Structure formats: structure tokens, C-alpha cells
Amino acid sequence: MKLRSFTPGNIKRKAASLLGGYFKRGANTGMNTLIGRDLCHDDAWKPPPKSMDNYFAAMPHTTEPLAHDHNTMPDCVVIGDFYELSRKYLRLNDISGGKMLEIGGSIARNGMKQFPEFDYLNVDLLDNDEIHTLVADITDCKDTIESESMDFVFSMHVLEHIAEPWKVAEEITRILKPGGLTVTVTFWAWRYHPTPIDYWRYSSECLKFLFKETECLEANFDSSCRRTTRQGKWPNKADSVPVDERGGWLESWNVYHVGRKPLT
């Protein structure tokens, strides 16, 4: 039996042949509406050319430069310890104490332990007797938290659970003193985890946009736990994901933003 050599030309011709056959079968079995028209935007099915080079060359494209400079994903970093990242920027900005607000700290209760030098306040929808907690809605707390009253605002894995995060960013900016620091950590990719509702996922560009009234000191993706399998751990199974031979949820990315309120 004669074996055909695997050359780039042979592979392209085979791909075009298979692609053409696929579309033809779709058209002959009444699937042309789904395949031929919806995807190709063409009422009449047309087989792809034999040369895939010509096929891709015929696709719409432009040589004009993009209107922004963030069309590619920036190099991610490995942070892991966002408390240490916060301490770094607190030192760089000569903030060694004062008033700190943590958003949504009732469950983990880590902020007060990590930053004992601050006069700590937690704002949450859940009360907690173990830490100083103000039960309030961070999207609208003008009646309970004074403007320009906080030196440091910290939020860890909370923003994805808030329906209107743009209001959170506005309130944080209002609450911060001029020169004050805000550190926000949330998720770019994570399994579903409703506490009580799981609304959003964010890119670093999104966080920069939300906190556009602050000076961005650093914003990026954190891949420290990217390939760790997440299968869910809650007794009620509300955070469980399907598990296969590769594990559970395998794309786990943090995303973060460090901002400073302008002095003027």
C-alpha cells in the first residue's frame, strides 16, 4: 500500500476537502440555515477553495492599527499573597497606619489579622461579632461612611458577588482620603460559587476602567493557582463542578487592581 507523505500542501488539501464535505452534508440534510447562512452569512453554499492559503486570504481583514494598545493579554504574574502586595504599596506610599475598610470580610476575617496597625472596619451584609463590622450596602453607604475617611480600602474575592460593581468603585473612591490606597482582588476565571450570588468575572482592563477615578499603580492577572483542580468543597454542592480524568475546574485566575486616590 502506498502511503501519502504528510506535507503542508497535503494537509491543507485534506482539511479543505473535509471542510467542504462537512458543509455539503449540512446543506443536503437541511442544516444549511445553521451552518451555511448563520456562520457564513451567505444564502448560497460555496465550497472553500482548494488552497487554504487563498481561503484565509479572502477573509475580511484590515491593516489599520487598532485604536487601543491592549489588544493582547498582558504578561500575567504570580502573586499568591495579596496581603504582602498590599503591604508593599502601603510602604511605597508612606501609609503606616490610619483607618482601614475591608469590604466583605465577615467570612474570612483576614483583613484585621493581616493589618493590625490600622483602625479596622469591616463593611458587609453579614454581621460578625468577632470583628468590627458595619452592616451596610457598599454600593450606597453615604449615610454610614463619611467621604475621605479611609486611608486604605481592601477587598478580596468580593466584587464578583456584587450586582453593580461600578457603584462599589465610586463609593471606594469617595471614601478614600486623597493619597489613600485601594487594593481589589477578584476573579478572571473561577468555578461558580454563589455566596449568595455569583455575578461577574473581570479582566485587568475592566478593573482599571471601574476604578478610573484613581491612579492605577498596578493591575494584572495572577496565575498562582491556575492549574490547581477545583472540584467544589461546600456541603450543599452549590460550588461543585463536573469532574473528569483531568480533574475539576482547571482555569483558576485571580485578577487585581491597586489604585491611589489623587491628591487633588
Q: What is the pLDDT of residues 10-21, one digit of tens each?
A: 544 554 444 444
Residues 19 and 142 in one domain: no
Residues 230 and 147 in one domain: yes
Residues 230 and 193 in one domain: yes
Q: Of 17 and 163, which is predicted with more confidence?
A: 163
Residues 93 and 25 in one domain: no
Residue 39 lies in a domain: yes
Looking at residue 18, what is its pLDDT?
A: 46
Cβ neighbours of residue 255 closer than 8 Å, sequence gap 6 or more: 185, 186, 187, 188, 202, 203, 204, 207, 219, 220, 221, 222
- Measured CA to CA in angstroms, residue 60 lies from 53, 56, 57, 63, 180 at distances of 14, 9, 8, 11, 48
Residue 244 lies in a domain: yes
Count of the separate structural domains present in the chain: 2
Looking at residue 74, what is its pLDDT?
A: 55
Closest CA to 177 of 209, 202, 200, 145: 145
Residues 256 and 153 in one domain: yes
Q: Which of 72-76, 172-176, 237-241 has the highest mean pLDDT?
A: 172-176
Amino acid (1-letter code) at residue 193: H
Residue 74 lies in a domain: no
Residues 31 and 147 in one domain: no
pTM: 0.70
Residues 28 and 139 in one domain: no
Q: Which of 41, 57, 73 is the last residue of a domain?
A: 57
Residues 43 and 120 in one domain: no
The CATH number that applies at residue 229 is: 3.40.50.150
Residues 90 and 50 in one domain: no
For residue 24, what are the domain limits? 9-57
Residues 110 and 181 in one domain: yes
Range from 100-114, 141-155, 220-234 carrying the lowest mean pLDDT: 220-234
Q: Which of 46-50, 70-74, 194-198 has the highest mean pLDDT?
A: 194-198
Looking at residue 243, what is its pLDDT?
A: 78
Residue 73 lies in a domain: no
Whether the predicted pLDDT of 76 surpasses 90: no
Residues 30 and 87 in one domain: no
Whether the predicted pLDDT of 207 surpasses 60: yes
Residue 44 lies in a domain: yes
Residue 105 lies in a domain: yes
In whole angstroms, what is the distance from residue 200 CA to residue 252 CA?
A: 14
Amino acid (1-letter code) at residue 260: R
Residues 86 and 53 in one domain: no
Residue 53 lies in a domain: yes
Range from 31-45, 50-64, 66-80 carrying the lowest mean pLDDT: 31-45
Residue 3 lies in a domain: no
